[in-house]
Structure 1
Amino acid sequence: MNAPATENLDPVINIDENEESIENNDIKLEENPFEQKKRKRTSVIWNDFNEIILPDGTKKVQCIHCLKRLAFSNNGATQYHRHLKGCLSRKLADKKQKQLAVNKGGVESEVAIANFKYDHAKIKEKASHMILVHEYPFNMMKHEVFNVFMKTVTPYYQKISHNTARNDCISTFELKKKKLKTMLGSVNRVNLTADFWKYGQKIGYMCLTCHFVDSSWKLQKRIINFCHVPPPHSGVVISDAIFKSLLDWGLENKVCTITLDNANNNDAVVRILKDAIKRKLMLGGKIFHVHCCARIINLLVQDGLSEIETKIENVHESVKYLIASEARLIKFGEIAKQLPSKKLILDFPTCWNAICNVGYCLGV
Structure 2
Amino acid sequence: GLSKSKGEAIIMSDPVGEAIGEVEVNTIFKMKERKKTSSVWDFFVDVTLANGIKKVKCKLCNAILNKTKGGTITQVLRHRDTYCPKHGVANNQSMINVELGKSAKRTFKYNHAKVREVAAQMILVHEYPFSMMEHEFFNRFMRTATPYYESISRTTAKSDVMATYEREKKSLREGNFPNLTSNFWKSGQKIGYMVLTVHFIDSDWKLQKKLNFCDVPPPYTSLVICEAITKCLDDWGIGNKVSTMTFDNATNNNAVIKYLKEDISLKRSLLFAGKIFHVRCCAHIINLMVQDGLSEVKHVIENVRESVKYINATESQIIMFSDIEKSLELPQKKLILDVATR
Question: Could you state the TM-score of these two structures normalised by the residue count of structure 2?
Answer: 0.65
**Which of 81, 96, 100 lines up with 1:100 in the alignment?**
96
Q: Give the distance between the partners of 2:80 and 2:99, measured in 1 at CA.
A: 28
* Match of residue 238 from structure 1: 225
The residue number in structure 1 matching 2:210 is 223
Amino acid at match of 1:341: P
Q: Does 1:345 align with 2:335?
A: yes
Partner of 2:168: 176
Letter in 1 for 2:187: Y
Aligned to 1:130: 122
Partner of 2:138 in structure 1? 146
2:324 and 2:235 map into 1 onto residues whose CA distance is 60
- Helix, strand or coil at the partner of 1:306: helix
Asked if 2 retains the 8 angstrom alpha-carbon contact of 1:224 and 1:245, the reply is no
Q: In the alignment, what sits opposite 2:270?
A: 281
Deviations 1:19-76 (Å, cap 9, x if unpaired)?
Answer: xxxxxxxxxxxxxxxxxxxxxxxxxxxxxxxxxxxxxxxxxxxxxxxxxxxxxxxxxx
Secondary structure in 2 matching 1:340: coil
Distance change >3 Å, CA 274–CA 328, structure 1 → 2: closer
Q: Distance in 2 between matches of 1:238 and 1:112?
A: 58
Structure 1 residue 221: Cα displacement: 2.8
Deviation string 1:232-270 (CA, Å, 9 cap, x unpaired) is 111111111112222223322222211111111101111
Contact 1:323 1:344 in 2 (8 A): no
The residue correspondences of 1:59-138 to structure 2 (distance < 5 A) are: 91-92=88-89, 98-101=94-97, 116-138=108-130
Q: Distance in 1 between matches of 2:89 and 2:130?
A: 27
Distance, in Å, in 2 between the alignment partners of 1:266 and 1:151 is 53
Q: 1:302 to 1:339 in 2, by over 3 A?
A: farther
Amino acid in the other structure paired with 1:225 = N
Deviation at residue 312 of structure 1 after TM alignment: 1.4
Q: Provide the secondary structure at the position in 1 that maps to 2:89.
A: helix
Q: Which residue of 2 aligns with 1:199?
A: 187
1:212 aligns with 2:168: no
- Larger CA deviation: 254-263 vs 164-173: 164-173
Opposite residue 300 of structure 1, the aligned amino acid is M
Residues 176-234 of structure 1, C-alpha deviations (whole Å, 9 max, x = no match): 323433x22xx2x2222112233345422122222233344x24232253211111111
Query: TM-score if structure 1 supplies the norm length?
Result: 0.62
The answer to whether the 8 A contact 2:172-2:238 is kept is no
What root-mean-square deviation, in Å, do the aligned CA atoms of Structure 1 and Structure 2 show?
A: 3.3
Contact 2:222–2:255 under 8 Å retained in 1: yes
Task: Give yes or no for the alignment of 1:323 onto 2:312.
Answer: yes
Residues 87, 298 of structure 1: alpha-carbon distance in 2 compared, 3 angstrom cutoff = farther
| Matches of 2:235 and 2:162, distance apart in 1 | 17
How many residue pairs match? The answer is 261
| Alignment partner, residue 12 of structure 2 | none
Q: CA deviation at 1:93?
A: 5.5
- 8 Å Cα contact 2:192/2:215 also seen in 1: yes
Are the equivalent residues in 2 in contact too, given 1:190–1:254 (CA < 8 A)?
yes
Structure 2 residue aligned with 1:74 = none
* Structure 1 residue 92 displacement after superposition: 3.4
Structure 1 residue 303: deviation in Å?
A: 1.2
1:265 matched to 2:262: no
1:157 and 2:157 matched = no
Q: Report if aligned partners of 1:209, 1:221 keep a CA contact under 8 Å in 2.
A: no
Q: 1:274-323, CA deviations, whole angstroms, 9 ceiling, x for partnerless residues?
A: 11112222333222111101111111111122222211121122223233
- Code of the aligned partner of 2:243: C
8 Å contact from structure 1 (residues 205, 228) kept in 2: yes
Q: SS in structure 2 opposite 1:157?
A: coil
Percent of pairs with identical residues: 50
Unaligned runs of 5+ in 2: 1-71
- How far apart, in 2, do the equivalents of 1:139 and 1:93 lie? 24
Query: Relative to 1, partners in 2 of residues 1:349 and 1:246: Cα closer, same or farther, differing over 3 Å?
Result: same
